[in-house]
Amino acid sequence: MYERFSQSIRDDISYMQQDILDIEDYYAVNSEIHKVLIADKASFEGDDLFWYSNTPISFQQDMLAIKSHVKTLILYPENGLDPYYQSRDASVHNTSLNKIRKLPIYEKALQAKGDVIWEKVHSGNSGLYLKNTKDKVVACRMLYDLSKKDKIGFLVLGVDVLNYSEICKKLLQNKNEGIAVITGSGEIFTEVGKVDETLLSEIVKKKYLDESCVDRPKFIIRNENYIFISKCKDTDVGVCYMLPVKNVRSKMREGLILPIALVVVLLIGSGPFSLLISKALSRPTKQLYDSMEQFSNGDFNTYITVESEDEIGRLSVSFNRMVKDIRELINTNYVMELKERESELNALQAQINPHFLYNVLDSLYWQAEEEQNEKIADNILALSTLFRLVLSQGNSEIPVKKEVELIGCYLHIQKMRFSKRLSYEIQVEESIGNYMIGKLTLQPFVENAVVHGLEFIDRGGSVSIVGRKEDDFLVFTISDNGVGMEQNEADEILYGKVDDTKNNEHVGGYAIRNVRERLKLRYGADFKLEIISRPQEGTIVSIRIPIVTE
């Protein structure tokens, strides 16, 4: 039970911290914010509202307004521009980046190389704040340019420590129990209830808060105290739940009294009635029992002759059906086991090969960087990013912005191949970036547009990808000015009438039908997919799917 409490506290804290990580990821990857962070300071002289006129900061303000746990947000540009600051608790930030750079927390973020670090900042004056009204847990992250070589900003989000305390208080069971939220380095974010400081120091000193606490809480006993230690998956923050041994024994006694009393009452009251029922059912029950004994001894050909239609008779029919099914399963089990082993081998190979390829591509990228061959480096980086996005950690659904990034990498690589023959544009509304979409829903159509639509034309070819929100739906359009096809050919490719084994110019129907089948399984009839094409004019693909949030 207390193990479950510890896990629940950990999960609630992890959910809150993941919310912070998502906000920081947004600032780290947003292209408009990146443009401001790498711009020349002189280009914004006289524009005091450059954050609002050049970035989606106002949209983020609205988003943070509904996240009550986020109290402050500070973004320090490294190019000398004034920092952006948002506060909900009257705290005042330190505006001097030179002073911020001298702080230990800045140095830790620099050493983390883009990872988020968590640290507690007490109320009052501190390095990050000229006036800090409440104790906070801050998440700091260094922002880098696309090549991850040069730092371009320092991002700080502050969370009220009371949010951690409230999560703990909700699941604290008794006054003589205690909960502490700590980091692996021993920093204490908050304490609730009665926490033994000596035991807490021992936990920190012996580094009990390690990776073994992620999946299941670690359990230790010290000085007549049970201690459950659990760690958040993506951060170095953990939960320590302490309680006296006597509390657990007391709850065990309370939990046993009622079941024992019920069992005694049932035994006394049901004795005579059970005797009568057992006599009436003894013969068919004995037959069923004997058959089960034969079955348990390995006789899979046993059979019960059913003589009645009562409960025992129906149970006998079910037993006969079960024996038959198990006999058939045994006959096929060996083949199934072989297929399972083959699937495990394929899955393992699928894990090893992409990661090996990523490492090779990364090595080639840095080699091209060292030789100052920017064009080859960019193409290698695009290919590496493409493979990482295709893998997507095994997820079948990804945000729209990830699918768009995947398409951008693919077109960047094809641009290397077709050079001046290919041009493209991607116009996807930023507001739909976080909605979920099936992985590789759009990319197969973009690939067909390039490979089958533009490869055999001499004139310059273009591909356009447009995405927008209409009511409760996402609408995507992929169009090209390639060779096109007759409309009946497009319909055959979409609805599966074309033979993929034939070596014709419109091979690619398999991938398109695969997308259509996945959309059908995911949304039923609540989607629309159509292809409109004209010979020598080009092809237009339209996809309309319901909005799905993460």
pLDDT of residue 278: 66
pLDDT of residue 362: 63
pLDDT of residue 41: 87
Q: How many C-beta atoms surround the C-beta of residue 432 within 10 A?
A: 19
Closest CA to 3 of 248, 210, 198, 211: 248
d(CA 208, CA 229): 8
What is the pTM (predicted TM-score) of this model? 0.47
- Topology of the domain comprising 413-546: Heat Shock Protein 90 (3.30.565)
pLDDT of residue 367: 64
pLDDT of residue 361: 66
pLDDT of residue 311: 75
pLDDT of residue 257: 76
Q: Which two tokens stand for residue 492?
A: 């055959």
pLDDT tens by residue, 415-460: 877 777 788 999 999 999 999 998 888 988 998 888 877 777 777 7
**Among the residues of 80-221, which ranges form H helices?**
97-101, 104-112, 161-171, 197-205
pLDDT tens by residue, 479-527: 999 888 899 988 888 887 545 444 444 446 778 888 888 888 888 889 9
d(CA 196, CA 174): 15
Is 200 a residue whose pLDDT tops 60? yes
d(CA 524, CA 114): 41
pLDDT of residue 282: 72
pLDDT band, very low/low/confident/very high, at 289 (cuts 50, 70, 90): confident
pLDDT of residue 390: 65
pLDDT of residue 437: 92
pLDDT tens by residue, 76-114: 999 999 999 999 888 999 999 999 999 999 999 999 999
pLDDT of residue 336: 62
d(CA 373, CA 328): 64
pLDDT tens by residue, 45-82: 888 889 988 898 887 777 777 888 899 999 999 999 99
pLDDT of residue 306: 74
**What's 289-332 look like in SS3?**
HHHHHHHHCCCCCCCCCCCCCCHHHHHHHHHHHHHHHHHHHHHH
Is 406 a residue whose pLDDT tops 80? yes
At residue 105's C-alpha, the angle toward residues 182 and 241, to 5°, is 5
At residue 491's C-alpha, the angle toward residues 458 and 426, to 5°, is 55
Relative orientation angle of helices 487-495 and 509-523, to the nearest 10 degrees: 60
Domains 2-163 and 413-546 share a fold: no
Mean local confidence (pLDDT), 267-278: 70
d(CA 447, CA 411): 8
pLDDT of residue 129: 92
pLDDT of residue 410: 84
pLDDT tens by residue, 355-388: 556 555 666 667 667 777 776 777 777 777 766 7
The identity of residue 16, as a single letter, is M
pLDDT of residue 345: 47
Mean local confidence (pLDDT), 264-278: 71
pLDDT band, very low/low/confident/very high, at 264 (cuts 50, 70, 90): confident
pLDDT tens by residue, 133-192: 889 999 999 999 888 889 999 999 999 999 999 999 998 988 889 999 998 778 898 999
Mean local confidence (pLDDT), 255-283: 72
C-beta of residue 258 within 8 angstroms of C-beta of residue 202 = no
pLDDT of residue 256: 74
pLDDT of residue 442: 92
d(CA 173, CA 246): 13
pLDDT tens by residue, 231-251: 887 788 889 999 888 887 777
Domain ranges of the chain: 2-163, 413-546
pLDDT tens by residue, 11-22: 999 988 898 999
pLDDT of residue 329: 78
Rounded mean pLDDT of the chain?
82
Is 37 a residue whose pLDDT tops 90? yes
pLDDT of residue 360: 56
Mean local confidence (pLDDT), 341-345: 52
pLDDT of residue 219: 84
- Topology of the domain comprising 2-163: Beta-Lactamase (3.30.450)
d(CA 208, CA 202): 9
Mean local confidence (pLDDT), 290-319: 77
pLDDT band, very low/low/confident/very high, at 349 (cuts 50, 70, 90): very low
